Amino acid sequence: MATSNNSKSGKSSKAAPAAPAAKPTSKPAVKASVAAPQASAAPPASAAPPPVKASVAPQPAKASVAAKPVKARAPYEPTQEEIQTRAFEIYVSEGCKEGNDLEYWVRAENELRSV
């Protein structure tokens, strides 16, 4: 036991005895090794699965931008052979009149380009 000098009295004193031990309670404490079930544990086999919500397919977002303008196609440029063939068809349909070859050619070009 430790002794200490008392500066006022000059006497040495002994340390006070320790407090008596606490009485055990009537119920034993729960051991630390027993733990509550964790949320991540799998549910028992007899438990019903959670209800499934009906899923709705997501709708595509509507475009808030105006429709894109359609690009104009490059005009069709017929070949010389195509123009010649069509000009001859016009010539025959007009009764094979001589002297109008330029008119038939231009008509054939315009018809083929407008297609």
Give tens-digit pLDDT for 46-100.
Answer: 666 666 666 666 676 665 666 777 777 777 799 999 999 999 999 999 999 999 9
pLDDT of 105: 96
Is the pLDDT at 38 greater than 60? The verdict is no
The closest alpha carbon to 110, from 62, 88, 78, 85, belongs to 78
CB 86 within 8 A of CB 112: yes
Q: Which two tokens stand for residue 24?
A: 């055990």
Separation CA 93–CA 98 (nearest Å):
13
CB 83 within 8 A of CB 91: no
pLDDT of 85: 97
Mean pLDDT for the chain overall: 72
Is the pLDDT at 4 greater than 70? The verdict is no
